[in-house]
Amino acid sequence: MSQMFKWNTDEFSWVDFTIDVLRILIVLAIVVGSWNTLSEGRISFAQWVNLFIAGLSQGSIYALIALGYTLVYGILLMINFAHGEVFMAGAFSTVFLAEALNRTGFLNQQPVLAILLMILFAGLVSMTVAILLERIAYRPLRGSPRLVPLITAIGASFFLQYTFRGLYGSGFKAYPQVKILQGSLQVGSINIPTVQIFVFVSALVLMFGLYWLVERSRIGKAMRAVSENKEVARLMGIDIDWVILFTFGVGGFLAGSAGVINGMFRPQGVNFFMGFIPGIKAFTAAVLGGIGNIPGAMLGGLFLGVIEAIGPNLVLAGLGIPGANQLKDVIAFTMLVLVLIFRPQGILGERLSEKKA
């Protein structure tokens, strides 16, 4: 009742009104676009499912990177803008190992072992980069205003990109293709590439591993304690420097593994710049899910992946917009803004502002 009342008084707010109009327009566009597409029926159900699954796989990669953002954010309230580069460091370095394993034939003789070795190697490389980053660039800045570490992170992002370009060159490299991942699984009329199942499953395993680590293990509890209150955590005897370093390390390890998993999934395009766009996407995913929240990062990543895969064909093509796939980022970011309008704290985030007041 009071809701209705509000509209009739002088409380009418242009901001609310505009936002409402915007919401309605966006929702309308989505509905109309989807309706048009689906009623035309150009794309079959099986194709939609395939797109969905491809989106999930892509989303798993985003999610794994997003976890690193979220971990660091959770503990330091800092956007580690260079996290995409941590991903790149692992992926780029391991491409040489993958080539070597392929040359010796080991990759196809013992694919499981080989992939495991690659994941470990990439994880360790990325972890080292992440730890160095924290130690050299971020630790001296603890407690300074939020913009300062953000700028440092941007600087670190450039620095890492061009360092790796200097080390490994500017050309593109590609992961070799692993035979056992080349096939596909036929489920009814739907054909699911094995590699996508691999990506999704290994991402899930890593995510649950992380979830267990944070929720159940001693160090995980310490991480949560540090993220809530660093000073009190120290009073518990927790070495917060070490916990923060550990957090960066874990985030780095996940990013590195994401690099290899990504290499199995999208083997091409390995170069020094490869971390930038996934980095921004993963950051978006983390915010979408509610930054600082681990399940949120997973959800955000998967959501973003699926949106990107399905959105252009479903909505934009339906609205008759040419070059729909070009605009998939527009869809992704519009969805982000839409989600944030409805839930300013992200899908699974907590309301910070209310607590504060």
Partner 1 sequence: MDISQSGTRQTIITLGLLSGALILFTGAVGMIAAFHEREVVNDFITLGQLVLLITPVIFGYTAANRLGMTGEAPMVVLGGGVIIGLLTTLPTTIMLLFNSDEFRFLLDWSLRLAPFVVATAIAWRMRRQRAETLTVVGSWLLVTALLGIVTFSLALIFEVKGDLRSVLVNINRDWVDVVTFDNRRELLQGILIFSLASVLAGFLGSLCYYLPRTPRRALFYGLSVTLLVGAFGETVRLVLQENLERDTLNQLFRRDTLRQNAALGLLIVSTVVGYLWAAFGDRARHGFQNLGGQERRTTQMIGTALFVALLLMLPWLIGRTLSDVAVTIGLFVLMGLGLNIAIGLAGLLDLGYVTNYAVGAYILAVMTSIGPLGLMKGSFSFWMVIPIALLAAMFAGFIFAVPVLRMRGDYLAIATLGFGEIIGKLAISDWLKPLIGGAQGVQAIPKPIFLGTELKNPEQLYYIVLVACLVTLFVSIRLNNSRTGRQWMAIREDEDVATAMGIDTARAKLLAFTLSAATGGVAGAIFAAKVGSVFPNSFTVFISINVLSLIIVGGIASNPGIVVGAVVLIGLPELLREFSDFRFLLYGALLIMMMINRPQGLIPTKIVSHEIRAGVKAKAAAGD
Partner 2 sequence: MKKTIASLLLLSLLSLLLNPVSAQDACSDQLGCVILAEDEPIAIGAMLVLSGAVTYLGDDSLGGVELAIMDRGGELLGREIELVVEDSLCSAEGGQAAAQRLSADPTIVGAIGTNCSSAAQGAMPIISDAGMVMIAPSNTSPSLTNEDVASGGSHLPGYFRTSHNGLVEGMRNAEFAIQVLGTRTLATVHDGDPYTEGLARVVADTFAELGGEVVFEGAVNKGDTDMASILTEIAVYQPDIAYVPLFEPEVNFFAAQMKHIAGLEDTVIIGGGAAFVAGFPENTGEAAIGIFVSGPLVTGEAYEQLLLRWEEEYGSSPPSGYHAHAYDATNLLLSAVEAVAAPTDDGGLVIGRQAIRDAIAATENYPGLTGNLTCQDVSPFAGDCAPGTALAMFEITEAEVYDDNWPPPVFWSFSENLSE
Partner 3 sequence: MALLEVNEIHTYYGNIHALKGISFEVDSGEIIALIGANGAGKTTTLRTISGLMEPRDGSVRYDGEDISSTRADLLVSKGISMVPEGRGVFAKLTVEENLDMGAYTRRDKGIKDDLDRVFELFPRLEERKKQFAGTMSGGEQQMLAIARALMSSPRLLLLDEPSMGLAPVLVDGVFDTVQRIKNEGVTILLVEQNAHMALQIADRGYVLQSGEVALSDTAANLQQNETVQKTYLGID
Per-position b or e across 281-300, b if 16+ CB within 10 A of its CB: bbbbbbbbbbbbbbebbbbb
Residue 100 interacts, among partner 3, partner 2, partner 1, none and using kind-specific CB cut-offs from 5 to 8 Å, with partner 1
Token couple for 285? 């995913």
Token couple for 315? 């909505």
Residue 145 interacts, among partner 2, partner 1, partner 3, none and using kind-specific CB cut-offs from 5 to 8 Å, with partner 1
Residue 197 C-beta: closest distance to partner 2, Å: 13
Residues found in the chain: 357
What burial class does residue 218 get, using C-beta atoms within 10 Å of its C-beta: 0-12 exposed, 13-18 middle, 19+ buried?
Answer: exposed
Tell me: does residue 87 bind partner 1 (CB under 8 A).
no
Q: Is 13 helix (H, G, I), strand (E, B) or coil?
A: coil
Tell me: does residue 329 bind partner 2 (CB under 8 A).
yes
Tell me: does residue 114 bind partner 1 (CB under 8 A).
no
Tell me: does residue 340 bind partner 2 (CB under 8 A).
no
Kindly give, in sequence order, each residue whose CB lies less than 8 Å from that of residue 236, ignoring residues fewer than 6 positions away: 225
Span from 83-91, 94-102, 192-200, 236-244 in contact with partner 3 (CB under 8 A) = 236-244
CB-based contact 94:88 (threshold 8 Å): no
Tell me: does residue 320 bind partner 2 (CB under 8 A).
no
Of 33, 85, 284, 308, which one interacts with partner 2 (CB under 8 A)? 308
| DSSP assignments along 115-170, one per residue | HHHHHHHHHHHHHHHHHHIIIIIIGGGTTS-THHHHHHHHHHHHHHHHHHHHHH-S
Binders of partner 3 among 206-235, rule CB under 8 A?
Answer: 218, 221-222, 224-225, 228-229, 231-235
CB-based contact 253:124 (threshold 8 Å): yes
Q: Is 290 helix (H, G, I), strand (E, B) or coil?
A: coil
Tell me: does residue 320 bind partner 3 (CB under 8 A).
no
Q: For 346, left (φ over 0), alpha (ψ -120 to 50), or beta?
A: left
Residue 200 C-beta: closest distance to partner 1, Å: 25
Tell me: does residue 267 bind partner 2 (CB under 8 A).
yes
Tell me: does residue 345 bind partner 1 (CB under 8 A).
yes
Of 6, 23, 42, 142, which one interacts with partner 2 (CB under 8 A)? 42
CB-based contact 324:69 (threshold 8 Å): no
Binders of partner 2 among 175-214, rule CB under 8 A?
Answer: 176-177, 184, 191, 193
Residue 46 interacts, among partner 3, partner 2, partner 1, none and using kind-specific CB cut-offs from 5 to 8 Å, with partner 2
Strands, E assignment, 11-104: none
Residue 190 C-beta: closest distance to partner 2, Å: 10
Applying CB under 8 A, the residues found at the interface with partner 3 are 218, 221-222, 224-225, 228-229, 231-240
Applying CB under 8 A, the residues found at the interface with partner 2 are 42-43, 46-47, 50-51, 54-55, 58, 162, 165, 169-174, 176-177, 184, 191, 193, 262, 266-271, 273, 276-278, 308-310, 312-313, 317, 322-326, 328-329
